[in-house]
Structure 1
Amino acid sequence: MKKLTLALLAAGMLATGAHAQSSVTLYGSIDEGITYNTNNMGHGTATLGPVAVPDFYGMRGVEDLGGGLKAVFALQNGFKSNTGQGTIAGEAFSHFSWVGLTSDRFGALTLGRQLDLAADALRVNSNGSVQYTFYLFHPANLDNLGIIGDSINNSVKYTTPTLHGFTASGMYGFDDSSTQPGRVVSADVVYSQGPLRASMVYSSWRNHAIPLVSGLGLGSFLGQPLTGGQTFVARTQDIFGLSALYKATSELDLHGVLTQVNLSTQTQSARMRTAELGADYHVTVANTVTLGGYLSWLSGTRYAELGVGDVYALSKRTVVYAQVTCQHADGVGNAAMPLLAPSDSPNQTAFRIGVHHFF
C-alpha cells in the first residue's frame, strides 16, 4: 500500500509538471579594476574594487500557470568583488527579493523588497549605467539612481500591460518600525519603442536613513553631522525625475536625466536639482567612446562633473574599459565623487581601468 501511494504521488507530480512549465535563471555581474584618485582628503590614492556596475548575483524564476498567468520571483544580492563582502551587512538579498503574479492581459503584481522606481526606471538611461561608471552618478546618490541598497521593504507593486510602448507602475512600501520606519510611495511611466526609451518617476520617502557619510563634501548637512560615518535621517525625501535615451544613428546614442530632490528634517529643508547629458559613439561594433557629465545644485554648492571613457567589448558578456572623471565644486562644499573619499578642495579627478563580466 505504501509503495502504491508513493507511485501515485510521483505520477501526480509528473502530470502537474507536464501542464505547468517553469524555469529558473541564475545570473550576475562582477567588476574589478584600479582607480587612482588625485585628491582623497588631500592625498593621491589608488583603490581597488567594483565601479562600473554594482557587483551582484541573483536568480529569477517563472512558472506558467496557464491562461496567460504566470508566477514569478526574483532574488538579488550585492557584493564587493575586492573583498567578497555584501554591500549591506546582514542582508542576504540587499537589492531585492520579491514574488508575484503576471498576466499578459492584466499586468503584474509583486510583493516583497523591491527597487525604488527611481533606480528602476531612471538609472537605465543615466551616464552611470550606460557608460559603466558609478563615478558619474549624482552627489551622494540623493536621487537614488545608483543601486546601493535603497530598496523598498514590505512593498506591493503593480505594473500595467504594455500599450503602444507605454507601461506604468505604482508601488507602496508599508511603514515598519523595525525595517522601514516610514512609508514609501513610488510611481513611474515608461515608454520604450523604436529608437526612444524614456521615463518619468515620482518617489516619496518618509523618515529615510540615507548613508551620506561625507559624500557631499560637507561636515554637516541640514543640522546633522556627517563625520564618523553617521547616517543622515531625512524626515521627507521627495524625488522627481525624467530620463530618455535616443538612438540617433547606428553609431550614436544620446541620453539625459533631470532630477529634483526635496529634503527636510524636523527643522530645515533643502533642494537638489541635477541636469545630466551623455553621448556614446560606437566606433566599431566592439568599441564605444563615451562622454557624459552633469551639473547639480544643492544648498549653496554647485557640483560640475565630466567623464570620458573607452569601452571595448571582448565578447557579449565581457568588456574592458578606461575612464577619466573630474568633479569641481563651487560654494560651501568640496568635491565628493560617489564611492570615493571626499576631496579637501573643490577639485577631484579619478583615473580608472577595469574589466567587467556579466554571467
Structure 2
Amino acid sequence: MYKRSLLAVTLFCAFTVSAHAQSSVALYGLIDTGLIYTNNQLGHSNWQEVTSSTQNTVFGLKGTEDLGGGFRALFKLEQSFLLNNGAQAFAGSAFGSQAWVGLQSDPYGTLTFGRQFDVMNDLVGPLTAGYNTWGGSIAAHPFENDNLAANSVVINNSVKYASPTYHGVTFETMYSFSNKAGDFANNRSYGFGLSYAEGPLNLAAGYLQLNNAGNSTGAVTTSDTSANFIAERQRIWSLGGNYTFGPATVGLVWSHTQIDNAAAVFSFGTGSYLAANDASAGTLAGSLRLDNYEVNAKYALTEALSVAGAYTYTHGAYNGSSPGWNTAMLQTNYSISKRTDFYLEGVYQNVHGAPADSVVSHAMINTLSPSATDTQAAVTVGMRHSF
C-alpha cells in the first residue's frame, strides 16, 4: 500500500513538472531612443531627444499554457511608452500597444480576442522599410496612410483568425466591433491578408477597411491616438514581395488608400489633429486617394554591419488636384550584441501639386511635426536595446 501511494505521488509530481514545463510567462521589451535633427518643423529647425523613431518602445508580458489535445492558451499584454518623458504612447491605455488572449492549435490555427494590430500590418507590413528595424516608423509612407509601418495603428474590440502555414501559405482575417447598441457599423473595421514564404521568396497581399474611425468608443479611436485619419471610410489595398540572395534583400510594395469624407489627419509627432488644431498646417476635407510605390533594399556588409535604403513615390488625388510625394530613406546599422545595436538614418520628403491651404501641401515625415514648406529632411542617430 505504501509503495502504491509513493508511486502515485511520484507520477503526480512528474506530471505537474511536465505540465509546468509546457507553459510559460515571459517579460519582454524593446527600447529605441536617440537624437534627431529636422531642418523644418512648423517653420523652425529642431534638435530633439526622441523615442521610437524606428521601433515602438515597449514592455510587456506574454505567455502560453498547454491545454492538451494539441491546444494552447496564449496571451499578450504590451505597453508602448515614450522613453524621453515616461508618458504612455497611447494616451490613457495601460496596455495600449497590445492586449489580447486566444487559443492556438497546430492543425486549426490561432483565434485571438482584444486590442490587436490589423492583419495587413501582420503580413504585408514586414515587406516594407517602414515596418522593419532597417527603416522603421520614420520611413513610413506619407501620413502613414496605409497602416504598414511599425505598428502605429492598433484596433480595439477585434477578433482575429490566423491559419496554420500550409506549403508556405498563411491566411489571416479579422473583424473589429463598434460595440455600440443600435449603431453596429459606426467605427468598425475588418480585413484579410494572405502571405507566401518559401525559401528566399516572400509575397503578401491584404485589404483593410475602417468605418468612421475616430469615434470615442469604437474600433479605432482618437482618445488614445490610434486613428491616423478622421473620415467616414478608409479602404486600403496592398501587395508586396521581397527576395533574398546571399547578404542582400530587395523588395517592392504597392498600396492604395481611399479616404472618403476626410475631416482631419493625426500626426503622432505633434500630438494634435492638424486640420482641427494647427492653423499653420491647413485644412483637410473631402476625398483623398493615395497610391504608394516603394522599392527597398538591405545589404549585410558583415554579420554586425548593414546598410539599407528605400524610396517611395506616392501619387495622390485630392479635390481636383494631383499631389505627389517623394520619400527617401538611408540607414546604416551596427549590432554590438544580439540585443543592442546603433543606427544612423536620414529621411527626406518632398510634396508637390497640392492645394496651398491644405494639410497635404506640407511635407511631414512620420513621427515628426509637419514642415511649414513642401520639403522636410531629418537625420537621427539612435540606440536600440531588447530584453
Which band: TM-score by shorter chain?
Answer: 0.7 to 0.9
| 1:297 aligned to which of 300, 315, 333 | 315
For 2:86, the equivalent position in structure 1 comes to 84
Indicate the larger mover: 148-157 or 62-71.
148-157
Structure 1 segments, 4+ long, off by >6 Å, are 11-14
AA matched with 2:135: Y
Distance 1:268 1:129, change over 3 A: closer
Identity of matched residues, %? 33
- Where in structure 2 are the equivalents of 1:6-45 lying within 5 Å? 18-19=18-19, 21-45=22-46
Conserved in 1, the CA contact under 8 Å of 2:128 and 2:149?
no
- Cα displacement (A) at 1:146: 2.7
Distance 1:232 1:171, change over 3 A: closer
Report the TM-score, using the length of structure 2 for normalisation.
0.80
CA RMSD of aligned residues (A): 2.4
CA offsets 1:220-258 (integer angstroms, 9 cap, x no match): xxxxxxxxxx984211111111122211x2221112221
Query: In the alignment, does 2:205 pair up with 1:200?
Result: yes
| Counterpart Cα distance in 2 of 1:177 and 1:95 | 23
Structure 2 unaligned segments of length 5 or more: list them: 1-10, 216-226, 263-284, 355-360
- Cα displacement (A) at 1:334: 2.1
- Cα displacement (A) at 1:197: 2.1
| 1:251 aligned to which of 235, 247, 257 | 247
Conserved in 1, the CA contact under 8 Å of 2:135 and 2:308?
no
Conserved in 2, the CA contact under 8 Å of 1:335 and 1:342?
yes
CA offsets 1:317-344 (integer angstroms, 9 cap, x no match): 1111111211111112121111111111
Report the TM-score, using the length of structure 1 for normalisation.
0.86
CA offsets 1:60-117 (integer angstroms, 9 cap, x no match): 1111112211111111121111111111111011122111111111111111111112
Query: In the alignment, does 2:385 pair up with 1:357?
Result: yes
For 2:366, the equivalent position in structure 1 comes to 338
AA matched with 1:291: G
For 1:214, the equivalent position in structure 2 comes to none
| 1:283 aligned to which of 301, 309, 329 | 301
| Counterpart Cα distance in 1 of 2:180 and 2:228 | 17
Distance 1:148 1:123, change over 3 A: closer
Structure 1 unaligned segments of length 5 or more: list them: 1-10, 211-229
Secondary structure (helix, strand or coil) at the match of 2:82 reads coil
> How many residues end up aligned between the 2 structures?
329
For 1:176, the equivalent position in structure 2 comes to 179
Conserved in 2, the CA contact under 8 Å of 1:23 and 1:61?
yes
| 2:292 aligned to which of 258, 267, 274 | 274
Secondary structure (helix, strand or coil) at the match of 1:49 reads strand
- Where in structure 2 are the equivalents of 1:148-163 lying within 5 Å? 149-163=152-166
AA matched with 2:311: G
| Counterpart Cα distance in 1 of 2:97 and 2:150 | 7
Secondary structure (helix, strand or coil) at the match of 1:288 reads strand
